[in-house]
Structure 1
């Protein structure tokens, strides 16, 4: 692939039905989406953005190697084995070799179905033909990773607005992803300034996020997690995953349970787990169950409420935002303190 031969233009999408009556649409049987990583990366165009040096390349390389071997992705998600193309366009062969050796030394294994590419023209200068060549040679491809999107994006047509340019550039990748029914993952950067909505962290205009089928943003975590992976899209459920990074193995792992439980300190995590298990409680009863200082718990609950980590009712009780999490990690002796005979002091703030 280092010296691809000239190819014909990218094939046009196959003819497909685009119009139904409502009754016909209800009777139509569509195939389920093809997943590279179930619940995370579906067929179509996916965008992963994150700050520089955060570990996006480690994450994408690890995902690619795991899929190529059929190993669980992020330590827990079962995947179907198949060919993967990883275009590491900001790396050299030496750097890629060093990363893979680091992964293998920590217990990983070689991935014969993983193709590594370090040089590729932009999409407007023949890069689409390079991708077509590999996809034609690998009809059972499971994933194509472009690291980074900006390196292969290509130039905009003269006079095109920034929004239209972003939309058109992403559309070139989406055409191939849709034509071959193969998930594509574009690695991208976030803007320097912060944003209230994590989707607005993605560098560029909304034309980019509007063109892709799913957006993933990796942010640095707090407390017990090294990062949080935000996910939203047309075929994926919007959610957050707490992530842990092993620098020795160069491997990201998805942590169990809601992300909120891993992005707070130990005391806050205990409070969250307690409320998920037992429902709304006053700060006094929380302190009693945790055998903690009532004043400290009261202030912690107040701060968690202000941060949106807890819901507070007018009667002074607090509850966790999401119910149905796994059971509390508190000892049974602590849980028994929440019986009706336990402390029921009502605290006001």
Structure 2
């Protein structure tokens, strides 16, 4: 049979059971693959008895008495990247061209290969699905060539450049892949807008945003897998990084974690702001490596890397010598005494240092001084 031209009109419409319209936790039954090629030659009959197809995990329990709940031992959350991305839905937002796709593809490669994420964070290797919905195979190949830097491509990474909206078959595609890969560690959807689908008639913007995340969260929770949704931020900046996420509060409210990648000044190229249900609120300084396209985690608090060299020098000394005075700092670091005095005063006004009544300085305590769990 001659295959017709590969056009949208020539492709048969997939027949899918839409997961989650009535019950987002309903099991996903075995169904024909809607993405199979109808013009491909028939598959020859197997010579041996077929093995049982993989099955979806059982539906998680959702009801207990108080006594039963207290007597239950729950497993710890599965981390795709410890301290950053746990099982459930994580919203990764940032401005255009900040490097979100480089970051997310790099994470996919690292987790699939079992290499340290961000250069230093140990991970457990496992299958990864990367939906690169704004890219082509050629562009992905070019990026991977740079990111791999001569290393072999991991066989556990699956890349897909097409996926229908979640309510129109995307959820089934995602569930089918997770059923076939029961040890999956990570799913990346780049970008979220490509799969969110249309809003229900009459739904408020908040309800529509919450439902769009909830559709994917039901699958992430059912399979206990980490799902990263790459998203955009508003044009207008805000002191609260959650307020910068494009859309209503329904997006961050439905997600298990929200991460915002911002450009930074100083030694860091970006700061990753994190908050979530299973992850501590934190800020991590990252450096972009243009030769390999990789994002590397910088040691220490983000504030150490996002300030000028003079402030970084003073902050490092004060952390090691609490109660230091500007004269002591200047003597120990070689800074001019007047420069040390002015900079210490400005850092105290900015909340980076604390000045007591005697004129001595200590480092201010902030969330980004917490260690990575």
TM-score, scaled relative to structure 1: 0.88
Residue 221 of structure 1 is matched in structure 2 by 264
Residue 88 of structure 1 is matched in structure 2 by 132
Question: Among residues 87, 91, 98, which one is paired with 1:47 in the alignment?
Answer: 91
For 2:247 and 2:137, how far apart are their aligned partners in 1? 29
Residue 335 of structure 1 is matched in structure 2 by none
8 Å contact from structure 1 (residues 4, 130) kept in 2? no
For 1:166 and 1:310, how far apart are their aligned partners in 2? 40
For 2:131 and 2:163, how far apart are their aligned partners in 1? 8
Cα gap change, 1:108 to 1:199, in 2 (>3 Å):
farther
For 2:13 and 2:357, how far apart are their aligned partners in 1? 67
Q: How does 1:35-74 map to 2 (within 5 A)?
A: 35-74=79-118
Q: How does 1:325-344 map to 2 (within 5 A)?
A: none
For 2:173 and 2:200, how far apart are their aligned partners in 1? 21
Equivalences, count: 323
Question: Among residues 217, 227, 230, which one is paired with 1:184 in the alignment?
Answer: 227
For residue 215 of structure 1, give the secondary structure of its aligned residue in structure 2: strand
Cα gap change, 1:136 to 1:237, in 2 (>3 Å):
same
For 1:199 and 1:3, how far apart are their aligned partners in 2? 42
Q: Give the C-alpha shift of residue 24 in structure 1.
A: 4.1
Cα gap change, 1:139 to 1:197, in 2 (>3 Å):
same
Cα gap change, 1:322 to 1:152, in 2 (>3 Å):
same
8 Å contact from structure 2 (residues 18, 168) kept in 1? no
Cα gap change, 1:220 to 1:31, in 2 (>3 Å):
same
CA distances 1:274-297 after superposition (whole Å, capped 9, x unpaired): 111111222222122222211111
CA distances 1:12-53 after superposition (whole Å, capped 9, x unpaired): 1615142332x5433321111011111111001101001100
Residue 36 of structure 2 is matched in structure 1 by none
8 Å contact from structure 2 (residues 18, 169) kept in 1? no
Q: How does 1:1-349 map to 2 (within 5 A)?
A: 6-10=15-19, 12=26, 14=59, 16-21=61-66, 23-104=67-148, 106-322=149-365
> What are the ranges of 5 or more consecutive residues in structure 2 without an aligned counterpart?
1-10, 20-24, 28-58
Residue 337 of structure 1 is matched in structure 2 by none
> What are the ranges of 5 or more consecutive residues in structure 1 without an aligned counterpart?
326-349
Q: Give the C-alpha shift of residue 322 in structure 1.
A: 3.6
For 1:313 and 1:165, how far apart are their aligned partners in 2? 50
Pick which of 217-226 and 275-284 moved more. 275-284
8 Å contact from structure 1 (residues 6, 129) kept in 2? no
For 1:139 and 1:263, how far apart are their aligned partners in 2? 41
8 Å contact from structure 1 (residues 154, 169) kept in 2? yes
The structure richer in helix per residue is 1
